[in-house]
Amino acid sequence: MGRPTLDRLPDRLAACLRCERPDAKAACVHALHADWQAGRVDAAAELARVSVDAPGRPRRPELVPPQAVPRRRADTVPGRAALVHALAHIEFNAINLALDAAHRFAGMPVAYYADWLGVAHEEALHFALLDEHLGTLGHAYGDFPAHAGLWDMALKTAHDPLVRMALVPRVLEARGLDATPLIVEKLEAAGDTRMIEILAVIERDEIGHVAIGSHWFVYLCAARGVDPEMTFRALLAEYDAPPLRPPFNLRARRQAGFSESELAWLETVSETERRR
């Protein structure tokens, strides 16, 4: 008997990207991750890929401009529900971002695809944890408006994996690491111990996700003969990335692959912000 025909990785990734319901998308991601680990997916198949510029999403939540998203105070149950919903929306988008990082960029080492499939798998787990907790607060995903800023950055960086690694993991996800201690403080005051436990899991995994982005950013910079730190700063300006505002979670950023010189540079950003 001949060897069984393996699934093509781009086809499986595109199928997950197109799933609309969060539960269907998560099931697709977990099945793909399991099949990848079992060797049932062909990472070497590099035939033409069909771009998925608008991944599947449910009809709700309503997408509005970022400034129109309601404030998320944690000292009331509705406010805490809105906060958890905002985090769940980030994680839902993060599933698509990880899938897109693997689907959009052909010709990378096999380890690159393994990394981003693992990230998608963990982001789907994070979404499930948050969605379950949201239910204990009397709400479901889609009950609050949200914005599309994360996916907008995916489209801005769709042409180059180096730019993607710089501006999604090392900017957007790293900003999430910075925000976590502040959110935990609010949740401690509200007595929401379960949400604090969930955030500890998410922070642990997100440090790994930013580290993966840092690794492949440095890899691509080395392949092109450019300096990673100077390139990173230049890309922040060129692509009008979200501003780097203190306080920074230096412990988490250090674990996630930011160099000591980069952290020192962030401290100068902190000082500049304080003087404004």
Nearest to 175 by CA among 206, 129, 145, 219: 206
**pLDDT score, position 46:** 58
Mean pLDDT to the nearest integer, 206-220: 98
Render pLDDT for 173-185 as a digit per residue (tens, 0 to 9). 999 999 999 999 9
Virtual torsion, Cα 73, 188, 127, 86, nearest 10 deg: 10
Render pLDDT for 224-244 as a digit per residue (tens, 0 to 9). 999 999 999 999 999 988 888
Buried residues in 4-22 as b, exposed as e (16+ CB within 10 A): eeebbbbebbbbbbebeeb
pTM (2 d.p.):
0.94
At 271, the pLDDT band (50, 70, 90 cuts) reads: low
Name the phi and psi angles at 227, rounded to 5.
-80, 125
Cα–Cα distance, 68 to 86 (Å, whole number) = 13
